[in-house]
């Protein structure tokens, strides 16, 4: 499992003696073979927040449909004010995306993708929009099976 720190946020609380700081960490974990999860952890220290976020992310792992090294089709997703567009790319293109989107798709195991992040730049919302986009992907076989046409799949692949 690969664990990546996407964003660390420091917040402060003003008390009688000064300021008290606390930290929150957005963590993405994945096996680079189609499984990815995201979690948020909070704590008094950065290391504590990262540890809690990693545990949270590991408990929320989901399976993503991939087509070899890229995604099966173009997908658009929104979360809050963040909007993310992911497009499949030809082999050898690499990951053409921003820092937050890159962390999520790289952990999922995507090697070639084109992306555009629109709207809000809030790291948490961009990461959640990217994860929603990846989870909405479906392969051709999954679509045919859902429609009850899996028998036709064999016939179309033989003629092609």
Look at residue 147 in the predicted model and tell me its pLDDT. Answer: 86
Q: Within 13 Å of residue 145, how many CA atoms lie on the same side as its CB?
A: 5
Question: What is 2-144's CATH topology?
Answer: Ribosomal Protein S5; domain 2 (3.30.230)
Each residue's pLDDT, cut to its tens digit, for the chain (160 residues) gives 899 999 999 999 999 999 999 999 999 999 999 899 999 999 999 999 999 999 999 999 999 988 888 899 999 999 999 999 999 999 999 999 999 999 999 999 999 999 999 999 999 999 999 999 999 988 888 888 888 887 665 556 655 5
Residue 27 Cα to chain centre, angstroms: 10
Task: Kindly report the pTM of this predicted structure.
Answer: 0.86
Domain boundaries, the chain: 2-144
Q: Is the dihedral of CA 135, 33, 72, 120 positive or negative?
A: positive
């Amino acid at each position: 499992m690969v664990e990546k720190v996407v964003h660390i946020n420091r917040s402060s609380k003003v008390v009688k003696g000064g300021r008290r700081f606390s930290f929150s960490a957005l963590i993405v974990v994945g096996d680079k073979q189609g499984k990815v999860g995201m979690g948020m952890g909070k704590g008094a220290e950065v290391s504590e927040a990262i540890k809690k976020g990693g545990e949270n992310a590991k408990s929320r792992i989901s399976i993503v449909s991939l087509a070899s090294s890229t995604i099966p089709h173009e997908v658009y997703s929104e979360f809050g004010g963040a909007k993310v567009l992911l497009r499949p790319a030809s082999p050898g293109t690499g990951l053409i995306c921003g820092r937050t989107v890159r962390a999520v798709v790289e952990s999922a195991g995507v090697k070639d993708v084109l992306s555009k992040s629109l709207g809000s730049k809030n790291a948490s919302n961009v990461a959640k929009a990217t994860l929603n986009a990846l989870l909405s992907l479906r392969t051709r076989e999954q679509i045919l099976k859902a429609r009850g046409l899996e028998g036709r799949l064999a016939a179309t692949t033989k003629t092609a």
